[in-house]
Amino acid sequence: MNWNPIYVLVKKIPRGRVMTYGQLAKALRLPGGARTAGRAMAASPSDQGVPWHRVVGAGGRLLIREPYASLQRKLLESEGLALAEKRILDFRNYEWNPSEGRRRGVVKKEKRG
């Protein structure tokens, strides 16, 4: 199969969490950087369970264009993420790092006022 390491890593992103193209590139030391990750994602197979919607631009920006943009928004919202027009709100709380592995790493608790 096309076990592109990018897809392997993307598959590990937990539900309700996201990673950026740049993070993927950095984690896998992809030559060409984030664009390479983006190119791979654009060609991600739809029948291999790759949660492509969990990959977003730096800062939690939503970069995908229609018609997939709508689908991505829908999927992310269904996983509990709050979205603004062009980005994920409180992106920092959802960003996932492969090192977290099975660590809790869940949402950082907000300071109570």
Partner DNA sequence: CATCTGACGACCG
Partner DNA sequence: GCGGTCGCCAGAT
Q: Which two tokens stand for residue 57?
A: 């631009």
Nearer residue to DNA within complex by CB, 52 or 94: 52
3-state secondary structure of 71: helix
Q: Which two tokens stand for residue 9?
A: 């890593």
Nearer residue to DNA within complex by CB, 9 or 37: 37
Cis status of the peptide bond prior to 14, with omega within 30 of 0: no
Instruction: Mark residues 3-22: x for contact with DNA by CB under 7 A, - for none.
Output: -----------------xxx
Nearest CA-CA partner of 10 in 23, 89, 1, 106:
23
Stretch that binds DNA, among 40-48, 73-81, 89-97, 99-107 (CB under 7 A): 40-48
- In angstroms, give the least distance from the CB of 83 to DNA: 12
State how far the Cα of 20 lies from the Cα of 95, in Å rounded to an integer. 8
The residues binding DNA (CB under 7 A) are: 20-23, 25, 31-39, 41-42, 44, 52-53, 55, 57-58, 61, 63-65, 68, 86-87
